[in-house]
Structure 1
Amino acid sequence: MVLKRIERLWLLIGIAGIGIGLASVVLTEWLHLDPCHLCIFQRLLMLVAGVFALVAAGVAWRGANPLPFGGLAMLTTLGGVAVAAHHSWIQAYPSDTNSCVGSTPGPIESFIEWLGQQLPALFLATGFCDDDSFRLFGLTLANLSLLLFIVLTSAAFWALLRARST
């Protein structure tokens, strides 16, 4: 089985997305962190983007067009960029009105609450969005997530351009 360059790129994006998503679970447990709703949503988007990218790799390997699943992977990572940027903004400018914990939960909070009931080890939100007490390399986890989503979005965009030109 010889993988072409485009298949390897989708495979790398998929493994990275799933690996980053699972690493966030391990980091949460290992460091006793309390993830918020936006943290969990970013984790979910990273895992979903990874799955879409792996499917794109498999589709490309079979000789079919990876654009539909690759496009979904890129759209998912773009959503991750938006969520991580919003989360970084909440942490940079904390106030009572900007936190993700409010009197009425929005659709993301409600969905994450439901997921937390189904799979608490992966999706239970116990923290506050404006908590930036843990930093790695001087960046909050939301900042790191934003950077990783930008890298994966760029890689997916490049893979889509390459797939389109072949």
Structure 2
Amino acid sequence: MLKYWDSMSKRWLYLAGALVVGALFCSALYLQYVLRQEPCPLCMIQRVIFIVIGVLFFIAALFNAGRVGSRIYSALIALFAAGGIAVAGRHIWIQHLPKDQIPACGPGLDFMLKHFPMSDVLQELMHGSGECAAKGWTFLTLGIPEWSLIWYILLGVFALFVGWKKR
């Protein structure tokens, strides 16, 4: 297996990462538009982080950077994955709060973007709201934020392995 890993081009590995993120994003769109699972504010932040990670994977594959460039792309991907881990962890924490400690539902994202300064919008988004506590779709007893957390960890570790791959 290690021989196969060493024979793979970094370019193909980065492309594989971009395709995985694309599949994850398509899954999120399926959940939203087919299964009618409306995303909460923390879900929206996680989507943006996945998009940034996917774009970084794609750019790394497109430009086929050398050793230093590859490490920079991998470090950036891992950094955004760490941010995603933090947001997903916050989301999981909110979902596991007792019912009397769940934050109240705030105004919708569209309203906040139109009427609040961006710093207040970001603070409200990271704070979470009552709608973030709702547990929707599950698979193998894990909800969307738990699966997001798993994928952030996998993508971040994968990016670091690719960036520090020999050759």
Instruction: Please report the TM-score for the alignment, with normalisation by the length of structure 1.
Output: 0.75
1:4/1:67 CA distance change after superposition, 3 Å: same
Q: CA deviation at 1:77?
A: 1.3
Q: How does 1:15-94 map to 2 (within 5 A)?
A: 15-60=19-64, 65-94=69-98
SS in 2 for 1:66: helix
Task: Kindly indicate whether the alpha-carbon contact (under 8 Å) linking 2:49 and 2:80 is maintained by their aligned counterparts in 1.
Answer: yes
Task: Establish whether residue 145 from structure 1 lines up as the match of residue 160 from structure 2.
Answer: no
Distance 1:133 1:63 in 2: 43
Distance 2:59 2:86 in 1: 23
Instruction: Say which one has the larger Rg.
Output: 2
Distance 1:68 1:100 in 2: 40
Q: CA deviation at 1:110?
A: 6.3
SS in 2 for 1:34: coil
Q: How many residue pairs were aligned?
A: 148
Distance 2:89 2:69 in 1: 31
1:31/1:74 CA distance change after superposition, 3 Å: same
Q: How does 1:76-115 map to 2 (within 5 A)?
A: 76-95=80-99, 97-99=101-103, 101-102=105-106, 105-107=120-122, 109=124
Task: Establish whether residue 132 from structure 1 lines up as the match of residue 135 from structure 2.
Answer: yes
Identity %: 26
Structure that is richer in helix per residue: 2
Moved more, 48-57 or 67-76: 67-76
Q: For 1:80, give the aligned amino acid.
A: G
List structure 1 runs of 4+ shifted beyond 6 angstroms: 61-64
Distance 1:48 1:71 in 2: 13
Moved more, 127-136 or 90-99: 90-99
Q: Which runs of 5+ in 2 are unaligned?
A: 1-6, 108-115
CA RMSD of superposed structures (Å): 3.0
Q: For 1:78, give the aligned amino acid.
A: A
Distance 2:106 2:100 in 1: 9
Moved more, 86-95 or 148-157: 86-95
1:65/1:107 CA distance change after superposition, 3 Å: same
Q: For 2:94, give the aligned amino acid.
A: I
Q: For 2:143, give the aligned amino acid.
A: T
